[in-house]
Chain A
Amino acid sequence: MCLAIPGRIETVSGADLLNRTAVVDFGGVKKQVSLACVPDAAVGQYVLVHAGLAINTVDEEEAARVFDLLREMGELDGGVSEKTWQRAMRR
């Protein structure tokens, strides 16, 4: 129910806040979305859309962080040894 899907704003229309909408592209599927709760959102930005309403813009910098963390983990060979991991996955 609280599903929200990220999509890219293609065009914006409507002047007053309550009726400001955008066409948002969700990997090829386009939908009309209300921008009433993201007054600063602009064309090209990604928004999270729930029940026809954009509930936030996606922070690109924050989105990349987990992949930096994974790279660090790779360098440190984080977690358990290969043997322990294989044993855990066989259970």
Chain B
Amino acid sequence: MKYIDEYRDGEAARKMARAIHGVVTRPWTIMEVCGGQTHSIARFGIEELLPSSLTIVHGPGCPVCVTPIEQIDRACALAARPGVTFCSFGDMLRVPGSRTDLLTVKSMGGDVRMVYSPTDAVEIARTNRDREVVFFAVGFETTAPANALAVRQAYTEGLTNFSILVSQVLVPPAMRTILSSPSNRVQGFLAAGHVCTVAGYAQYDALAAQYHVPIVVTGFEPLDILQGILMCVRQLEEGRAEVENQYARAVSRAGNVSAQAMMDEVFEVTTRAWRGIGQIEQSGLSLREKYKALNAEARFGLTAIHAAESGECESGLILQGVKKPPECAAFGTRCTPEHPLGATMVSSEGACAAYYRYKRR
């Protein structure tokens, strides 16, 4: 496929890796933010091509992993209600809540549907007027415009049986949280390419300057990631801390203003909790007043629930780059993709699942 295959060429990747070896003189720790990048790094064995003094840690950019356990519990409670058709992206179905997961609810008779797009859930609402159709609106900036479009379509068509359970989060506040932590070890970032396709990268200037950390907007194919690493280590070696763009074929500094307008029409910024990390100020989105009738939490009177995580799961430390998956005592033994203790072992973009699949030796 054009714009994919050529960026997976082994010879080109080795050439780029060799250039990295030529630049690195000291140990450095770089974090890739996005779960899609984490998956690529594990899948294509990118770390094996890098100098041993370069450490790659994996960031919080997996929406499935950071959706709070309470929100999973609310989703499961909603999905179990008679009259409700609960729609979700497929990778949310196996994420463990405190007692159950959506797939189990489905097996017990709940009407849980996997959709590819939020607008597919709107179509289900159009054709099933007797059902309350709820879409689980998780995701980062990349997904927010698609979720917003579904809300706008349902609103303009007056679909009264459609609502969304929102768990939308924003990437830059999480990067700030990581950088301001006393246990931070990240010296440079590969910023999440598709988040920046939507949101642009002007918002990273302040982070780069305040924490003196290079931030390179990076794509998802092996050649993209290796070039992003090269650009990042070059900055580190030269003592620079700038925002650069490796992924210019898909990202501009201002981002996609039409997509931002779509998001902005429907959502406003709010404080949200991240699974494994905790509350982060101004780090998420909620529905604006105009669209509050489409808010599933209000419509179904879902109240605050407090749920406990598995005591053994260290996904919080892994999501912040403090630990790598094999450093967790449960990894690959008591915690596997078949029996996950935490969300990072569920999603294919979770660092633990990616390591389990590609890097167990």
- Determine if B118 and A52 form an interchain contact, defined as CB atoms under 8 angstroms apart: yes
Q: Assuming the A-B contacts A38-B258, A85-B18, are A2 and B2 also in contact, with contact meaning beta carbons closer than 8 angstroms in the complex?
A: no
Taken together as a complex, chains A and B put the C-alpha atoms of A27 and B4 apart, in Å, by 10
- Determine if B52 and A65 form an interchain contact, defined as CB atoms under 8 angstroms apart: no
Query: Which residues from chain B contact A69 at a C-beta distance below 8 Å?
Result: 227
Query: Which residues from chain B contact A63 at a C-beta distance below 8 Å?
Result: 3, 249
- Determine if B12 and A88 form an interchain contact, defined as CB atoms under 8 angstroms apart: no
- Determine if B15 and A78 form an interchain contact, defined as CB atoms under 8 angstroms apart: yes
Query: Which residues from chain A contact B64 at a C-beta distance below 8 Å?
Result: 1
- Is B284 close to A, CB under 8 A? no
Query: Which residues from chain A contact B198 at a C-beta distance below 8 Å?
Result: 55-56
Total chain B interface residues with beta-carbon distance under 8 A: 63
- Is B188 close to A, CB under 8 A? no
Q: Assuming the A-B contacts A2-B36, A78-B15, are A18 and B2 also in contact, with contact meaning beta carbons closer than 8 angstroms in the complex?
A: no
- Is B268 close to A, CB under 8 A? no
Q: Assuming the A-B contacts A53-B149, A55-B142, are A27 and B1 also in contact, with contact meaning beta carbons closer than 8 angstroms in the complex?
A: yes
A46 to nearest B CB, angstroms?
6
Counting residue pairs across A and B whose Cβ atoms lie within 8 Å, the total is 155
Q: Assuming the A-B contacts A38-B258, A79-B20, are A51 and B52 also in contact, with contact meaning beta carbons closer than 8 angstroms in the complex?
A: no
Query: Which residues from chain B contact A15 at a C-beta distance below 8 Å?
Result: none
Most buried by A among B16, B149, B251: B149
Q: Assuming the A-B contacts A37-B145, A50-B143, are A2 and B118 also in contact, with contact meaning beta carbons closer than 8 angstroms in the complex?
A: no
Query: For the complex, would chain B's binding face be called helix, strand, loop or mixed by DSSP majority?
Result: helix
Taken together as a complex, chains A and B put the C-alpha atoms of A26 and B62 apart, in Å, by 24
Stretch in B189-197, B310-318, B319-327, B331-339 with 4+ CB within 8 Å of A = B189-197
- Determine if A1 and B62 form an interchain contact, defined as CB atoms under 8 angstroms apart: yes
A1 contact from B3, B249, B251, B349, Cβ within 8 A = B349
- Determine if A2 and B249 form an interchain contact, defined as CB atoms under 8 angstroms apart: no
Within 8 A of A (CB), among B1-38: 1-4, 6-7, 12, 15-16, 18-23, 34-36
Identity of the chain B residue whose Cβ is nearest the Cβ of A35 in the assembled complex: B258
A61-90 vs B, CB cutoff 8 Å, 1 = contact: the mask equals: 011011101100110001110001100110
- Determine if A2 and B195 form an interchain contact, defined as CB atoms under 8 angstroms apart: yes
Taken together as a complex, chains A and B put the C-alpha atoms of A79 and B24 apart, in Å, by 10
- Determine if A4 and B142 form an interchain contact, defined as CB atoms under 8 angstroms apart: yes
Identity of the chain A residue whose Cβ is nearest the Cβ of B16 in the assembled complex: A70
Identity of the chain A residue whose Cβ is nearest the Cβ of B48 in the assembled complex: A89
Identity of the chain A residue whose Cβ is nearest the Cβ of B256 in the assembled complex: A56
Q: Assuming the A-B contacts A1-B36, A6-B3, A80-B18, are A36 and B116 also in contact, with contact meaning beta carbons closer than 8 angstroms in the complex?
A: no
Q: List 25 A-B contacts (CB under 8 A).
A: A1-B91, A1-B140, A1-B349, A2-B139, A2-B193, A2-B194, A5-B1, A8-B2, A18-B149, A27-B2, A34-B117, A34-B146, A34-B149, A36-B149, A36-B262, A50-B143, A53-B149, A56-B251, A58-B249, A65-B249, A66-B224, A73-B15, A73-B19, A79-B15, A88-B21
Q: Which residues of B contact A (CB under 8 A)?
A: 1-4, 6-7, 12, 15-16, 18-23, 34-36, 49, 51-52, 61-64, 89, 91, 116-120, 138-140, 142-143, 145-146, 149, 152-153, 156, 192-195, 197-198, 220, 223-224, 227, 248-251, 256, 258-259, 262, 347, 349
Contacts A1-B91, A4-B194, A50-B194 known; list 20 others, CB within 8 Å: A1-B138, A2-B140, A3-B36, A18-B156, A48-B194, A51-B139, A51-B143, A51-B146, A55-B197, A55-B259, A56-B198, A62-B248, A65-B248, A66-B227, A70-B16, A73-B16, A79-B15, A79-B20, A80-B21, A88-B21
